[in-house]
A and B are shown apart, each in its own frame.
Chain A
Amino acid sequence: MPLSGQLSRRQRARIFRGAQYGVLVVAVAVFALVADWHQLRTAFFDVEIAKAMFPDIITTALVNTVLYTLLGFGFGLALGLVLALMRLSSVPPYRWIAITYIEFFRGIPALLVFIALGFGVPLAFEVALDMNITVMLSLGLVGAAYMAETIRAGIQAVPKGQMEAARSLGMSHGRAMVSIVIPQAFRIVLPPLTNELILLTKDSSLVYLLGLSLTQVELANFGRDALNEHKSLTPILVAGLLYLVITVPLGQLVRRLEARTAKAR
């Protein structure tokens, strides 16, 4: 109860919000006064250096990042679907294989897989894997482990009545899976799969390990080379912004898809 002399709830809320803005303004002002703007500008926002990176950073690096990501995602999705179906199989050995695979590849760093496929396999088996194949396998093998669990959860989220209705129309188990259950499962898992695509976009930077030729460089590598050349952080900032050009719209897409699923329920 507001007694005389005390503040009402609304007044207190207004003062509290005012104080939060006040702290923010002071912090920005202090930073603006203390910072060495000239040095910051040459380190991060050197327009000349940034300009020199174009158009190659788009036509080569960005394109390669997208290419590597899609190769890994495509392979990972296909393998992930197979693993998810194995994980749900009524034949125990299939389940064991899938579980072991998933635990293994979720538990080790992706970096290790890149090293194994990029250096280990060529040395041990004396074969030279094509660069794109190496990237596709490395990103896909790890991504598949995560996607398998996502897809399995999606398949299990499809109501049991769907399979029963399909079977009672005379469809075989496999036909019902392909025509009825899996299409619905993919709708359910579209948002988490898009998240996986975002993670893979970032993980594609791991190919820098493999030593890339000029036409093979992707964003992280391109930024790093330009950093060495110009002794400035500007290239890293530009490369970072270009990752955001890919990942932020994907993130928005995830939110839109999630809203759509929420509405359909």
Chain B
Amino acid sequence: MKPEQDGKAIDVQGLHKSFGALEVLRGIDFSVARGEVVCVIGPSGSGKSTLLRCVNLLEEPSAGRVTVAGTEVTDPDVDIDRVRRRIGMVFQAFNLFPHLTALENLTIAQRRVLGRGRAEAERTARAHLERVGLGDKAAAYPAQLSGGQQQRVAIARALSMDPELMLFDEPTSALDPELVGDVLAVMRSLARDGMTMLVVTHEMSFAREVADRVVFMDGGVIVEEGTPEQVVGAPRHERTRAFLARVLDPAAAEVGEADEVP
């Protein structure tokens, strides 16, 4: 890893984002240190995905600065493709390329973007498939894999680009409950190896165990942040408490109390 002036992997300042008249992010300031694992929690529609997507510029911020590993991505002159290579992203819906095998999903960007030769790309790809426990699925097409396997291939695909940080947007929300564990296990091992991770999740036990810091968002602002013990264990704000009560015991929610239970 290159030494950075302040050791920050992600730095967000005064971030605003509107879709037409709808203001989704209303002034976000926060940062992620190198090697840190930060979990973002919050009710549906609070802007968690939008925040994540502003970090790699899949959404264009309306105002504010976003800096990733020392490069300001909101600079109009930035080579965004070059920055995105350094940021791995994992989507809720996996978004594997269905016309390519698992192995080809991992090699295509290595070859077309990084210019690696076939042999090197395949070697890297196989190592990463092995790492997520799918060494035997190299030749399988996404449609032949379970949701949990697809998500692990998607993680391996992002890792194949040797990213400096990883963004996860509810990586287990689309999975059957019995498949969630395998994906979380891969993420846990990544965190152990020192990967910088920004994770939007509803898996509170994962957040408690793995996160260095938990950020609670509601209504387009950060309501509170701190260690998992603070935010999940002893929340200071009423909105955080109400949200956690719903997430930790969904059956207890009353009709009308919450518009959407995650």
Contact = CB atoms under 8 A, between A and B. Distances in A.
A157 B63 CA distance: 32
B113 A162 contact: no
Interface residues of B, number: 26
A187 B99 contact: yes
Contacts of B93: 161
A165 B95 contact: yes
Interface string A137-161: 0000000000000000000000101
A170 interface: yes
Contact of B109 (A164, A169, A183, A264): A169
A2 to B, nearest CB: 48
B112 A179 contact: yes
A116 interface: no
B81 A172 contact: yes
Interface string A155-192: 00001011011111111100100011001100100000
A170 B161 contact: yes
A24 to B, nearest CB: 45
Chain A, interface residues (CB within 8 Å), range: 10 to 19
B2 interface: no
Contacts of B114: 170
A168 B58 contact: yes
Nearest to B105: A165
Contact of A167 (B58, B88, B98, B99): B58
A contact patch SS: helix
Given A168-B84, A168-B89, A169-B161, A161 B95 contact: yes
Contacts of B17: none
A166 B96 CA distance: 9
Contacts of B58: 164, 167-168
Interface of B: 56, 58, 81-82, 84-85, 87-89, 91, 93, 95-99, 108-109, 112-114, 143, 154, 157-158, 161
Interface of A: 159, 161-162, 164-172, 175, 179-180, 183-184, 187, 264
* 5 A-B pairs closest in CB distance: A170-B85, A169-B109, A165-B95, A168-B89, A161-B95
Given A168-B88, A169-B157, A170-B84, 13 more contacts: A162-B97, A165-B91, A166-B97, A166-B109, A167-B58, A168-B84, A169-B84, A169-B85, A169-B109, A169-B113, A170-B85, A171-B112, A264-B143
